[in-house]
Structure 1
């Protein structure tokens, strides 16, 4: 089969020239060279393994590595002894198959051949998907590199699944795959599990590359996580290639978002306040304007038992008043995010709802699943930092309010210690806590904040701080919510009889969000996103939040607070200093001197004047963990599950 060798040689020569053009070695990688200076902490014999052919990237030693291009195709001349042996191996493979396994080492889930280089070359030439081999795993010492962290996540996943062909480019992928494949944490995979997943992954990878996935800089595994977040695993493994391709096409914008440095685009003001209306919208060519809209609100709880729902429900009357005769508004209450949210969303979409507001962050996964099937309905979720073009989010900039309430706490407290009860460790919460600290210390430089978490009840440390006689003023949890639901209430004073006296209560103006978002649909500006993941994060300037102060406040205090409110609305106040210190006296600061909205949203550390810490993932209950899966800070992706 000398002709096959010549074909393989040409493929090898092309790969060699491409590598040289990129400034890379034109030969196979050598593991012995790679391991220089690497501390290997364990060698694990894995026995006979089906090795993914695409993961075999080099040789163990330098001998013969110059006989192959980086793609394992031969590069020695066609009249060489090597070419004759390679051709004979081709004949043997075609007649009876290559029966002997290779010997290889695995390092960082890549494989390096110790014995059997020509077998690998021939099998890759014939596009073999897997190559049997006796494998020894080399485990490096843990370090802080992304590649190393992902590898250690892979090791945990491999112990359960024995799957070695799925790769991810970011942390958390393997744990998320375990969950999406309907396997409990720590649950091992059966042979049937592995067969079903292998079939799905092969089919999905083919469709991913057919749609242009190789140009995205993502792995098929990255894209599969997006796919399985929308389409149930049980349905996915029963799908045909055509169905997978059709479904994947609907999610292509969702997948492309992963390639952007900033996956989320924060809109800090309503479009009507950001500037003139786009010309194409005025011409009404590409942005058709509806004459009437049907708006639906979905609530996890009901207006009788939840102040949060009552606040969001005010938007119904506001919409009717703002757009008389042009909107029809309805709501569904007591929607369980994990049980019936998906079906109810399907129902309202089938009923031709134009806009759906879901007022609980825990409904976001259900929104995402349904939105992919109903592109004609606009879905929004009350949460922050969700990188999904299919579902937009809306939320107030709470740190502006907590800065002012921190000032008020410093003015009204009789001691240097004040309390803060935070709801859950989700995006925006550390910024709100740290802004409260900055407000406090702007009027009381020696002030300190004692932090407690509503999601971590501790009888020894009650949320009213009654165990702390030095704390009477604190930012409180809202007791007007159903059990197990944690929301902010506002700044209170604990009276001697234990009653909480409100001092300053934030009011989140959901009506502002609803009116301006609906207006953007009427105006035709909604459709200008062009596949971007839009998060509406509005503040005082937009009228999306305000503070209701209690009567009887000192007139000088009120004058100061109102002045600072105006300055915040004009962006004349720098809430966070350009340089500050986190707990442990770790220096923190914005990359450019002034924190960007993205940096504030993703802030995950606490000021050194805070007594308390961020919760550990394993200490949280199931409901809080579900919320963290939707809206939790990036730091929790690194924690063991």
Structure 2
């Protein structure tokens, strides 16, 4: 119908004008022109497949390029033979559909049309999502560029799961996607699984783009994998497009904050609202609301009797009840690492009117996100820092401040200028704690060296290694291990006879932390913070100045060392001293920043990947980590991991 052609041409001419105004090429690019500059290895027949029309980027040859806008809308004169054929084609499409496949060449997951340009144009005008195509793949020249490495991983994915459109430019993406579906990139996936994945992706892609996903700095494949990781593929199979769209709507904020490098805000000190008393009541309705206890559910992945970390939070929960009395009611759910056990705890917490749900491990973030999507209403917290999410806020402490003090103390006590540091896993903020300890040590003793070991490194005997290196002052775990009550922790000295003498330890004050967070929710500070910083993930990252962290010293320490720590503590509290201000040098003498530089940003501190020049040791590699370390690093690590080797399927439903 010529009337359709006139409308389509009008849209096409507008597109040309916009492209020209922005200095863009106004017609579909030709693959032959692209390959003339870049070259290619050869061509491989792929066969017939339904392809997403949004992936059609241009034509194979120059031919009739100037008959179309860059988006394949027609621009030839309405009186032309081309216009007549285009009109006949749209009539045929409406009456019978397009029966013959178009012929395309695929290059780097984009398609270039050799036969069927008008069919593509008509389908684009009608808003068709896909089109049947006969595909030939053009193999790019060998290169070590990141984009080509990612593309070669896609070709491995396509061999086992022939689905186009799930695009990501990140290395490791397809291995991670396979792991989310309990598959790999070596064995062909079951046909039913491939069909269900394609159907799910088509529904997700349509919803994502309809809501403005193309305007985000986020590839549709990355968004899709995030969607699956939250809900679990098993719960998504067979959903209708309407059901998929409803879920995308619930978690849309997650895509906004994870786009690009992730938009993260660090709230380093409590605002006045966190510690202020609850506002005076002005009416009976508010009285009724505040008369109801504020209910907090703590969902632990482990048990306080077996985990020192969970034991700290459990003591904080009890302290919260002591501080706020009858105005707060808390409940702890223990050993909820599996999805089924976690979801059961959430259901029970919601049934009992939970106002806040707290999770205490970064590995619980995915579960917390799903709970927040399925049960909006309560506030959700996860004890982590620098994970980009909107529905669940992170909270952690600036432990590097305490480690700075302990490093100075350690160096003042060490013989032969050597101190030891045993870290848990290479996750966000851990490297900053190591470096702050090392900088504190160097401040007291310029010749001090910090010998770094890892608890999560398998097949390593760090005690033997430190003993052989002549290290007697050691910073170990930050808290006692309930399963090994005689094991030393904090800062301690190994005596000549092998006995270990406790010297100091960092102190977490989770009760105070939780009290201020509860107050912030009840007096609307929590809500105002979210409104003030939209489009970013919020991370509470409080430190010694907020009273949530400190250092406790043994009474047996000499007076001079106690005075040293007290002076440094006051300097940190007042802001006169900061370990990451001024000249910083990494291992090998590499300059991180010069002597006149200010403090590193919160992001630079949390996501630190370099080690200070006086650290003897390195970050472990994936192959050196035990299973628990691997799982932690996969979620919030500072070293690269192959997700296909991290047993994500153990946390799926």
Q: TM-score, normalised by structure 1?
A: 0.88
- Secondary structure at the residue paired with 2:20? helix
Q: Is the 8 A contact 2:478 2:505 kept in 1?
A: no
Match of 1:367 in 2: 368
- Secondary structure at the residue paired with 2:325? coil
Match of 2:593 in 1: 589
Report the alpha carbon displacement of residue 140 of structure 1 after superposing the two structures with TM: 4.5
Report the alpha carbon displacement of residue 321 of structure 1 after superposing the two structures with TM: 3.0
Match of 1:241 in 2: 241
Q: Does 1:541 align with 2:541?
A: no
Q: Is the 8 A contact 2:412 2:444 kept in 1?
A: yes
Larger RCO, structure (CA 8 Å, separation 6 or more): 2
Report the alpha carbon displacement of residue 87 of structure 1 after superposing the two structures with TM: 4.9
State how far apart, in whole Å, the 2-side matches of 1:340 and 1:237 are.
21
Report the alpha carbon displacement of residue 212 of structure 1 after superposing the two structures with TM: 4.1
Residue 91 to residue 325, structure 1, CA distance change in 2 (3 Å): closer
Residue 69 to residue 210, structure 1, CA distance change in 2 (3 Å): closer
1:386-428 CA distances to partner (integer Å, 9 max, x unpaired)? 2222222221111111111111221111123322111011110
Residue 41 to residue 134, structure 1, CA distance change in 2 (3 Å): closer
Q: Does 1:631 align with 2:632?
A: no
State how far apart, in whole Å, the 2-side matches of 1:115 and 1:523 are.
64
Report the alpha carbon displacement of residue 506 of structure 1 after superposing the two structures with TM: 0.9
Q: Is the 8 A contact 2:41 2:138 kept in 1?
A: no
Q: Does 1:386 align with 2:356?
A: no
Q: Does 1:514 align with 2:518?
A: no
Q: TM-score, normalised by structure 2?
A: 0.87
Match of 1:258 in 2: 258
State how far apart, in whole Å, the 2-side matches of 1:581 and 1:562 are.
27
Residue 399 to residue 44, structure 1, CA distance change in 2 (3 Å): farther
Per mean C-alpha deviation after superposition, the further-off stretch among 192-201 and 56-65 is 56-65
Q: Is the 8 A contact 2:106 2:135 kept in 1?
A: no
Mapping of residues 269-288 of structure 1, within 5 Å: 269-272=269-272
Match of 2:576 in 1: 572
- Secondary structure at the residue paired with 2:326? coil
State how far apart, in whole Å, the 1-side matches of 2:252 and 2:352 are.
26
Match of 1:561 in 2: 565
Q: Does 1:325 align with 2:326?
A: yes
Q: Is the 8 A contact 1:602 1:634 kept in 2?
A: no
- Secondary structure at the residue paired with 2:476? strand
Report the alpha carbon displacement of residue 476 of structure 1 after superposing the two structures with TM: 1.4
State how far apart, in whole Å, the 2-side matches of 1:286 and 1:102 are.
66
- Secondary structure at the residue paired with 2:104? strand
State how far apart, in whole Å, the 2-side matches of 1:215 and 1:283 are.
45
Q: Does 1:298 align with 2:303?
A: no
Q: Does 1:603 align with 2:604?
A: no
Q: Is the 8 A contact 2:48 2:132 kept in 1?
A: no
Match of 2:65 in 1: 65
Match of 1:417 in 2: 418
Report the alpha carbon displacement of residue 116 of structure 1 after superposing the two structures with TM: 4.1
1:506-527 CA distances to partner (integer Å, 9 max, x unpaired)? 1111112111111212322122
Match of 2:104 in 1: 104
Match of 2:651 in 1: none
Residue 212 to residue 437, structure 1, CA distance change in 2 (3 Å): same
State how far apart, in whole Å, the 2-side matches of 1:572 and 1:36 are.
61
Q: Is the 8 A contact 2:179 2:643 kept in 1?
A: no
State how far apart, in whole Å, the 2-side matches of 1:277 and 1:626 are.
40
Residue 68 to residue 566, structure 1, CA distance change in 2 (3 Å): same
Mapping of residues 331-342 of structure 1, within 5 Å: 331-338=332-339, 340-342=341-343
Q: Is the 8 A contact 2:223 2:255 kept in 1?
A: yes
- Secondary structure at the residue paired with 2:434? helix
Report the alpha carbon displacement of residue 615 of structure 1 after superposing the two structures with TM: 2.2
Per mean C-alpha deviation after superposition, the further-off stretch among 511-520 and 135-144 is 135-144
- Secondary structure at the residue paired with 1:323? helix
Report the alpha carbon displacement of residue 466 of structure 1 after superposing the two structures with TM: 4.8
Residue 385 to residue 551, structure 1, CA distance change in 2 (3 Å): same
- Secondary structure at the residue paired with 2:462? coil
Q: Is the 8 A contact 1:281 1:523 kept in 2?
A: no
Q: Is the 8 A contact 1:478 1:488 kept in 2?
A: no
- Secondary structure at the residue paired with 2:295? strand
- Secondary structure at the residue paired with 1:29? coil
State how far apart, in whole Å, the 2-side matches of 1:387 and 1:457 are.
30
- Secondary structure at the residue paired with 1:239? coil
State how far apart, in whole Å, the 1-side matches of 2:636 and 2:223 are.
20
1:27-52 CA distances to partner (integer Å, 9 max, x unpaired)? 11122333455364665443444432
- Secondary structure at the residue paired with 1:183? coil
State how far apart, in whole Å, the 2-side matches of 1:351 and 1:320 are.
17
Mapping of residues 403-552 of structure 1, within 5 Å: 403-459=404-460, 461-463=461-463, 465-477=465-477, 480-481=480-481, 489-528=489-528, 529-530=530-531, 532-552=536-556
Mapping of residues 340-351 of structure 1, within 5 Å: 340-351=341-352
Report the alpha carbon displacement of residue 457 of structure 1 after superposing the two structures with TM: 2.7
1:408-456 CA distances to partner (integer Å, 9 max, x unpaired)? 2211111233221110111101111111221121122222222221111
State how far apart, in whole Å, the 1-side matches of 2:151 and 2:285 are.
47
Q: Is the 8 A contact 1:353 1:377 kept in 2?
A: yes
Report the alpha carbon displacement of residue 263 of structure 1 after superposing the two structures with TM: 2.3
Residue 91 to residue 236, structure 1, CA distance change in 2 (3 Å): same
Match of 2:315 in 1: 314
Residue 469 to residue 218, structure 1, CA distance change in 2 (3 Å): closer
State how far apart, in whole Å, the 2-side matches of 1:261 and 1:488 are.
40
State how far apart, in whole Å, the 1-side matches of 2:2 and 2:284 are.
62
The size of the alignment, in residue pairs, is: 636
Match of 1:80 in 2: 80
Mapping of residues 209-220 of structure 1, within 5 Å: 209-220=209-220
Uncovered stretches (5+) of structure 2, i.e. residues with no partner: 647-653
- Secondary structure at the residue paired with 1:537? strand
Q: Is the 8 A contact 1:407 1:443 kept in 2?
A: yes
